[in-house]
């Protein structure tokens, strides 16, 4: 019963992570806190799935985290960012990778509920769902860290309004 509670919490947090990344899909200016919300929620979701995972494959999890951080950092380098220095806003053109990663994280949490509580199947004890969640969380985190601390300080200034798309070309 407690496992079901944790799995439902993971689904809710994964849905919040997907909702929190909407500023990238809509090309809207968002605060640094809004940018940090998605990877933070993804880390909590991955932690929940790893803790309740019946298969404890730590080496697989560590590999998934390291590879996710590396690929996420490379994706962060490819982002074109504009920044409003006065209002501390960031904006990117429409991106699909972050939205796809958050969507996959939500699908993983739903798959965990279906396989663990609705199908009553025996686990293979491989920890693959937990490792996949850890990979996605690490991807989103690496992408955020590079975008926020490497790309954003070098971004050109563009006057923006919170939650709005200035409809201007991004250059960087």
Burial of 171 (0-12, 13-18, 19+ CB in 10 A): exposed
5-26 residue pLDDT tens: 888 999 999 999 999 999 888 8
Task: Return the exposure string of 28-46: e unless at least 16 CB atoms fall within 10 Å of the residue's CB, then b.
Answer: bbbeeebbebbbbbbbbbb
Per residue in 90-117, pLDDT (tens digit) is: 988 888 999 999 999 999 999 888 887 6
| CA 79 to mean position of chain CA atoms | 15
Q: Is residue 52 within 8 Å of residue 127, measured between CB atoms?
A: no
Q: What is the pTM of this model?
A: 0.90
pLDDT value of position 136: 97
- For the stretch 139-154, pLDDT in tens is 999 999 999 999 988 8
Beta bridge partners of 82: 91, 156
Report pLDDT digits (tens) over 54-76.
777 889 999 999 999 999 999 99
């Amino acid at each position: 019963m407690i496992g079901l509670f944790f799995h439902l919490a993971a689904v809710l947090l994964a849905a919040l992570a997907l909702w929190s990344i909407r500023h990238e899909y809509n090309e809207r200016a968002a605060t640094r806190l809004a940018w940090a919300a998605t990877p933070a929620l993804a880390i909590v979701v991955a932690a929940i799935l790893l803790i309740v995972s019946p298969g404890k494959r730590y080496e697989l999890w560590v590999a998934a985290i390291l590879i996710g951080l590396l690929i996420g950092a490379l994706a962060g380098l490819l982002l074109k960012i504009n920044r409003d220095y006065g209002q501390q806003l960031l904006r990117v053109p429409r991106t699909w990778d972050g939205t796809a990663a958050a969507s996959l994280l939500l699908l993983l949490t739903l798959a965990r509920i279906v396989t663990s509580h609705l199908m009553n199947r025996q686990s293979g004890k491989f920890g693959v769902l937990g490792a996949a969640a850890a990979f996605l969380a690490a991807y989103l985190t690496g992408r955020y860290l590079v975008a926020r601390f490497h790309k954003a300080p070098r971004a050109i200034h563009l006057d923006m309004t919170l939650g709005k798309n200035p409809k201007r070309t991004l250059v960087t």
